[in-house]
Structure 1
């Protein structure tokens, strides 16, 4: 199973690259005359297919494509090396001299529009041309590179950059925008993680369903004729759910967070199997494993039912096939907090176990969405700070009801501090739950240098008024706990997703 953990990000260690304004042309000396292939002033396309270093220069073999489609090869001498595979635009100066420029360089972008690509944006591209531009005894090597942009609003455009290191033709690059004329390469592992997260988040978002729907179905399922192994799996799932009154105990709350499923993969890798009977995600997977053999054979399932496709696809899903490439808006929904309540659609005339399987698979996808969202938001911020995110969900018992509690924890550390310095962290927590008779509530709090500030949001006006009257009591209890207390406020509605208030200035804008 693919590990999904809250690993801390590392600052990018790759060199920076700078967009340059123009491509410098290079004169080539032919080793044999053109013999009428090109008249003086005529141009053609060429590709570097071989390179050989000589005592004073570099000998290159070019594949020339003329305007009528005819192809031929030419040998030429170049004052600097050309990367094999580079695409060139050549112009005949005489029968034995050519003027060469990287193809597309004259149309390539020399700077970035920060309105389209704000600082911190991820840019991905493919190298289509590269050449050594300058190198001397006292001068570091500089390579001119053309990159086809693959994402962002500039997708399809070419970017002309200077790099202190050679870049292979055809290689894929990811870089973070540092300014209008500054990019910073991301390590390969970061590139792969970002690409994988982009693909997986949307797929998980489209499959996920609310945890309370599954728990309600497990409580109400008809157990007549249900295999003992399946009954045991259902009882383990229900028995591990914490009671809302117990979560006032810090130890019980800590155990509930550890058993939310967010740490399942890291526990398995570490061999910590003793706590798995209490882990929510492990219990969900046990339930799925018991449901699959209890279902009718695939041929007996309704051919048009959505559960049929779910049952057939589920084993591969559990093994870590997390979905196909999704749309950008689905990924943004998956990164939003809190995740919206969503009931997995049920097909008519389905049996109880088929419905239960679909709800269990949707619940696993919901936990996976939280885990992937944690990884997607764990990053190096544009100002160099290390931001680590843990996002999870805990279903709580509230008498006969099940109340999902969504939690997002973030730790921000100054990445510019020395290793031997004591790093001061900024901690942020967001909570979201819907508890009757209060209705939907969201809490945002920030702890920095021992000072706590918080905002609460209640959708019901009566609840907002009630909380506002109780805030002085909350302040007194926080002061008694030894904290310095800043702003405490309660507002009616939902937290804004765009511009933030003064208290929220350092919160990550998840919709950016």
Structure 2
């Protein structure tokens, strides 16, 4: 399965279509449709979707009759027809559809046996989803071969279907990633075992369309915590969440900083998956989901609380209830907004406006669910930016957001940590014989601190040598920071670090081309 033919599109009739044309019968309706087509009348049909069920294939067809009426029907077939295929059908009886395909319509069959390198240049990373997989008739003395239909998910030919022969059966629904080579072949790239990049990017786009800044929900919680008419349980949860957030001075201690990162919500799923439910009481995302459960006006959240009165103090019950509660809350959000670059950092500020006739609980529900989506966006961005780089090094990313108490306000601090290791360094770390400083570390910070305004920090630590750059959107702040860089250098040297360049610039970091993992998964059919 290392190559397929290249250049151009299929122009001959595919074997399954030829068989259908000869027999006049290919499809069996899953449910009898008596009288769907009058005797002697034909209808145009388009294959909307294709699914393999054992040795047979299930098709969803959209039929268009001569009078313009459209009907969707399910049918079984012994041979696959690719999505987008255009066919002409008639109805000999209530259980069958007869298929007639003329040579003039053969070009409408949306299957490719070749890749047009004019549309898909050399070096393009193609992604596809396996729709079907069949064993080809065996030939004496020849190895067994399998033929698959693969739906392309990206490139200008997205939506088309490739016919691929391979020496092994491709799992149905699996994702393929292949690089177009200079010799007009495809080199298949194995997907990382740690993540499904298609699902990550798909969910990331959804979360980013629903997310909003943490500032809104924290301000609402401050009002609820001091409101005497708020429910006792809701007010207690609000007070507990606000009290769990660190103060700015506490983050100067390494242990406190590590604890704040651990409770930021990024590691909630990992804790639950690892059976560490007892350690999620102070987790920010877990507390927000608990608030959503208490604020839900529909029976799902209230039923969960009624069934488990000790939800706030029983982490194992909370762990069990989290997925359903999160789905209920996030499903209520219908926010539509421009989608930022999936791996962009920092996430842009976004506040939800209060709707007319909206009560405090409804507003809290929207804000809390949007905050959960924001934390989820950070987690998915971490997954998207983790993997093997083109040079073979392993990159791991941790991206999160920590609300920091600053006086009576809460300042969201966005953090991105990246570790890049060579294969040798990775092997040493797995054997626990490594020095953490041997790896290349990058850190990015973004926050808006009054009166300094928005600030961003990018630093790099390589073999004990630290260098960094700062950006301040207010020019006056940039001049102030620049005047203090000498003192910062002295403090870093006193900590035993070898300090390289330290610079401060007005404005924001450039957003030009950067070294990133090649990940452009978009599945419109999943």
Q: Same fold (TM over 0.5)?
A: yes
Task: Tell me, yes or no, if the aligned pair for 1:210 and 1:363 is still in contact at 8 Å.
Answer: yes
346, 352, 364: which one pairs with 1:356?
Answer: 364
Task: Tell me, yes or no, if the aligned pair for 1:407 and 1:432 is still in contact at 8 Å.
Answer: yes
**Cα displacement (A) at 1:144:** 7.5
Q: Distance in 1 between matches of 2:353 and 2:405?
A: 24
| Equivalent residue, structure 1, for 2:3 | 18
**Cα displacement (A) at 1:340:** 1.0
Unaligned residue ranges in structure 2 (runs of 5+): 27-77, 83-107, 303-321, 522-526
Q: Distance in 2 between matches of 1:85 and 1:321?
A: 43
**Cα displacement (A) at 1:456:** 0.8
Comparing 233-242 and 368-377, the one that deviates more: 368-377
Q: 1:289-321: per-residue Cα shift (whole Å, max 9, x none)?
A: 2223699x99xxxxxxxxxxxxxxx98451589
Comparing 447-456 and 110-119, the one that deviates more: 110-119
| Equivalent residue, structure 2, for 1:174 | 176
| Equivalent residue, structure 2, for 1:46 | 15
**Cα displacement (A) at 1:141:** 7.6
Change (3 A) 1:160 1:113: farther
**Cα displacement (A) at 1:409:** 0.9
282, 291, 294: which one pairs with 2:295?
Answer: 291
Task: Tell me, yes or no, if the aligned pair for 2:404 and 2:410 is still in contact at 8 Å.
Answer: yes
SS of the residue corresponding to residue 471 of structure 2 reads strand
Change (3 A) 1:418 1:441: closer
**Cα displacement (A) at 1:494:** 0.9
| Equivalent residue, structure 2, for 1:492 | 506
Q: Distance in 2 between matches of 1:172 and 1:224?
A: 55
Task: Tell me, yes or no, if the aligned pair for 1:128 and 1:148 is still in contact at 8 Å.
Answer: no
Task: Tell me, yes or no, if the aligned pair for 2:209 and 2:339 is still in contact at 8 Å.
Answer: no
Task: Tell me, yes or no, if the aligned pair for 1:455 and 1:489 is still in contact at 8 Å.
Answer: yes
Comparing 193-202 and 369-378, the one that deviates more: 193-202
| Equivalent residue, structure 1, for 2:244 | 240
415, 424, 448: which one pairs with 2:423?
Answer: 415
Q: For 1:34-73, what aligned pairs fall within 5 Å after superposition? A: 45-47=14-16, 63-65=19-21, 70=24
Change (3 A) 1:47 1:350: closer
| Equivalent residue, structure 1, for 2:345 | 337
**Cα displacement (A) at 1:344:** 1.8
| Equivalent residue, structure 2, for 1:209 | 212
**Cα displacement (A) at 1:187:** 4.5
**Cα displacement (A) at 1:401:** 1.6
Q: 1:257-301: per-residue Cα shift (whole Å, max 9, x none)?
A: 111111122223334344433221122122222223699x99xxx
Change (3 A) 1:264 1:465: same
SS of the residue corresponding to residue 479 of structure 1 reads helix
Task: Tell me, yes or no, if the aligned pair for 1:209 and 1:359 is still in contact at 8 Å.
Answer: yes
SS of the residue corresponding to residue 413 of structure 2 reads strand
Match status 1:149 vs 2:152: yes
SS of the residue corresponding to residue 277 of structure 1 reads coil
| Equivalent residue, structure 2, for 1:261 | 265
Q: 1:454-473: per-residue Cα shift (whole Å, max 9, x none)?
A: 11111011111111222222
**Cα displacement (A) at 1:256:** 0.8
Q: Distance in 1 between matches of 2:236 and 2:162?
A: 60
114, 117, 136: which one pairs with 1:109?
Answer: 114
Q: Distance in 1 between matches of 2:446 and 2:519?
A: 16
Task: Tell me, yes or no, if the aligned pair for 1:434 and 1:440 is still in contact at 8 Å.
Answer: yes
Query: Could you state the TM-score of these two structures normalised by the residue count of structure 2?
Result: 0.66
Unaligned residue ranges in structure 1 (runs of 5+): 1-15, 26-42, 49-61, 73-83, 89-102, 299-313, 501-505
Change (3 A) 1:178 1:475: farther
Match status 1:469 vs 2:483: yes
SS of the residue corresponding to residue 423 of structure 2 reads coil
| Equivalent residue, structure 1, for 2:382 | 374
Q: Distance in 1 between matches of 2:520 and 2:452?
A: 28
SS of the residue corresponding to residue 470 of structure 1 reads helix
Change (3 A) 1:322 1:381: farther
Comparing 153-162 and 255-264, the one that deviates more: 153-162
Q: Distance in 1 between matches of 2:454 and 2:203?
A: 29
Change (3 A) 1:348 1:480: same
* Larger RCO (CA under 8 A, 6+ residues apart): 1
Q: Distance in 2 between matches of 1:176 and 1:370?
A: 28
471, 491, 496: which one pairs with 1:482?
Answer: 496
Q: Distance in 2 between matches of 1:186 and 1:321?
A: 36
**Cα displacement (A) at 1:219:** 1.4
Q: Distance in 1 between matches of 2:173 and 2:274?
A: 35
Q: Distance in 2 between matches of 1:438 and 1:339?
A: 19
Change (3 A) 1:399 1:188: closer
**Cα displacement (A) at 1:118:** 4.8
SS of the residue corresponding to residue 353 of structure 2 reads coil
Change (3 A) 1:109 1:292: same
Task: Tell me, yes or no, if the aligned pair for 1:133 and 1:143 is still in contact at 8 Å.
Answer: no
Match status 1:196 vs 2:199: yes
Query: Could you state the TM-score of these two structures normalised by the residue count of structure 1?
Result: 0.68
Q: Distance in 2 between matches of 1:328 and 1:116?
A: 34
**Cα displacement (A) at 1:46:** 2.8
SS of the residue corresponding to residue 229 of structure 2 reads coil
Match status 1:123 vs 2:127: yes
Change (3 A) 1:173 1:259: closer
